Amino acid sequence: MNRVKEEKVKKIVREGYAKIARKQKPCCDAPTSCCANSPDMSKEITRRIGYSEEEIGSVPEGANLGLGCGNPVALASLKKGQTVLDLG
């Protein structure tokens, strides 16, 4: 992918996530959506993509919007002291 196209894609993704975050609710309003539309649905999606109950419980209330695509900690070969920032 050329650099200009790559930057355009990144900009679109940033704007999309920012729009969702500013709404202060899950990404979709329709009850039949694939997106989480309730805290319970967000937690269920999070469980299905590899997060443990302990990990889910450690997230501040309202921070889990059900937008994740997998648990990077479970998939990465992390070494002690490394930090992962999961942006959803």
Task: Give this prediction's pTM.
Answer: 0.50
Mean pLDDT of 68-73: 78
- Residues 64/42, Cβ–Cβ less than 8 Å: yes
Sequence-separated (6 or more) residues with CB below 8 Å from residue 50: 70, 71, 74, 75
| pLDDT exceeds 90 at position 54 | yes
Using only C-alpha atoms, the chain has a radius of gyration, in whole angstroms, of 15
pLDDT at 57: 92
pLDDT at 33: 45
